[in-house]
Amino acid sequence: MKLFISDKVSTMPTSIFSSMSKMAFEYNAINLGQGFPNFDGPDWLKEELYKATLDGKNQYAPSIGIYSLRKKIAEYHKEYYDLDWDTETDITITAGATEALFCSIIAIINPGDEVILFEPFYDSYQADVQLAGGICKYVTLKKPNFEFDFEELHSLINKRTKIIILNSPHNPTGKVFNKEELNFIAKLAIENDLLVVSDEVYEFLTYENRKHIPIATLDGMKKRTITISSIGKTFSMTGWKIGYAIANSKLTDAIRKIHQWVTFAVNTPAQHSAAFAFSMLDKYLPEFRKSYQSKRDFLIKGLVNTKFNIFKPYGSYFIMAEYPKDLFHNDIHAATELVTKYKIATIPTSVFYSKSDEGKDMLRLCFAKTDDVLKEGIEILNNI
């Protein structure tokens, strides 16, 4: 019997997140690897979902998303970022940011086109580019501050380059790209007629004096940016899978042509609930940020005297940490030993790199966990 599976799928590995979560379950381990909260979002939002189902909001939504949600997204982009988007032509509701990324990349990339990624990268970026037949090029965010070399980025651009994928606040490093960095990326995009796909799912999770700056707000960038975000991270409801892609009408039309054949439309009652959630944004965000900064600080303080070297994040809900070199050979060995021997799950970060070996020295920890889980994780790591 012939092999029916396509070449591009047969060479695609299983996600590291699936692998580590499976091991965490098998070994009954504390899970600081999973990149989502182990707690629910606000009760009032769950009540809105229940209300929406009772009110009969249970059939297919319009493919592009319900009007009230698209309107609320446009309104908060105006209020927070002074960006004007057309509700009808510029915003598409997707099955999470993951689908928004997939549809955007498939809609833009032709075989042989090149896409620049900042590594460590969220793994779906690379997978989406490869599925589209594109070629990935990599710029390394170098520790300890996860800064990139401007000249390294500039040197990768050629006539085949089509997209720069930006993720800020950044997963997994917690980096928040500053104005100088964003201006340089924008300058290259404009001078070389490139698009920027900007993954901003952690837009409201920044700490201390760091401020998220959407690259679409910079001069000349609104028309050449696809902005992607999600209610999953903002309202701690990742399982609802409500994301969105925002771009000019021509780019949005292309994204919608892919979206209609992937999911067509997404969860109707959750869309209505999300629209309500955005109406509560001003009241909700202060406590949301305070809660996550408290969790970040609790984990950092708890690990300060361990053998793990912590890199302080200023965004997202992840921490990068160097493991003790005298105990583990590399990050895969470290993550495997930690889950099987010490009963704590983390994510090895070399899977997020293709150019540099820096990831072989680090693990990613997630602090979007209840205090009891964080406390137990801290106790384990202090005893290693």
Count other C-beta atoms under 10 Å from residue 190's C-beta.
15
Domain with CATH 3.40.640.10 in the chain: 58-282
Mean pLDDT score, 367-377: 97
pLDDT at 18: 79
Instruction: Please write the tens of the pLDDT for every residue from 218-256.
Output: 999 999 999 999 999 999 999 999 999 999 999 999 999
For residue 77, what are the contacts with CB-CB under 8 A and spacing of at least 6? 83, 84, 85, 246
List Cβ<8 Å contacts ≥24 apart for 125-130.
125/101, 125/165, 125/167, 125/199, 126/354, 127/12, 128/101, 128/102, 129/105, 130/8, 130/12
**Residue 36 to residues 27, 89, 102, 110, 230: CA-CA distances in angstroms?**
20, 31, 20, 33, 13
CA dihedral 11, 351, 318, 280 (to 10 degrees): -20
Mean pLDDT score, 81-110: 98
pLDDT at 179: 98
Mean pLDDT score, 191-203: 98
Q: What is the CATH number of domain 58-282?
A: 3.40.640.10
pLDDT at 279: 97
pLDDT at 6: 82
Residue 15 has pLDDT above 80, yes or no: no
148 closest CA partner among 320, 358, 360: 358
Instruction: Please write the tens of the pLDDT for every residue from 346-365.
Output: 999 999 999 999 999 999 99
Superfamily of domain 7-41+284-382, CATH level 4: Aspartate Aminotransferase, domain 1 (3.90.1150.10)
Instruction: Please tell me the distance from the alpha carbon of residue 324 to that of residue 89, in angstroms, as a whole number.
Output: 52
Mean pLDDT score, 101-117: 98
Contact present, 383 and 372 (Cβ < 8 Å): no
pLDDT at 59: 98
Question: Strands 362-366 and 318-322, how do they pair?
Answer: antiparallel
pLDDT band at residue 373, thresholds of 50, 70 and 90?
Answer: very high
pLDDT band at residue 188, thresholds of 50, 70 and 90?
Answer: very high
Bridge partners of residue 227, in order along the sequence: 198, 246
pLDDT at 14: 73
Residue 12 has pLDDT above 90, yes or no: no
pLDDT at 2: 74
pLDDT at 3: 74
Instruction: Please write the tens of the pLDDT for every residue from 268-309.
Output: 999 999 999 999 999 999 999 999 999 999 999 999 999 999
pLDDT at 153: 98
Domain with CATH 3.90.1150.10 in the chain: 7-41+284-382
pLDDT at 5: 83
pLDDT at 335: 95
pLDDT at 209: 87
**Whole-number mean pLDDT of the chain?**
96
pLDDT band at residue 17, thresholds of 50, 70 and 90?
Answer: confident
Q: Which of the pair, 11 or 229, is modelled with greater confidence?
A: 229
- What is the C-alpha end-to-end distance of the chain, expressed in Å? 51
Question: Strands 347-348 and 344-345, how do they pair?
Answer: unpaired
pLDDT at 273: 98
Instruction: Please tell me the distance from the alpha carbon of residue 361 to that of residue 354, in angstroms, as a whole number.
Output: 14
3-state secondary structure 240-304: HCEEEEECCHHHHHHHHHHHHHHCCCCCHHHHHHHHHHHHCHHHHHHHHHHHHHHHHHHHHHHHC
| pTM beyond 0.85 | yes
Instruction: Please tell me the distance from the alpha carbon of residue 258 to that of residue 94, in angstroms, as a whole number.
Output: 11
Residue 19 has pLDDT above 90, yes or no: no
Q: Which of the pair, 135 or 7, is modelled with greater confidence?
A: 135
Contact present, 222 and 77 (Cβ < 8 Å): no
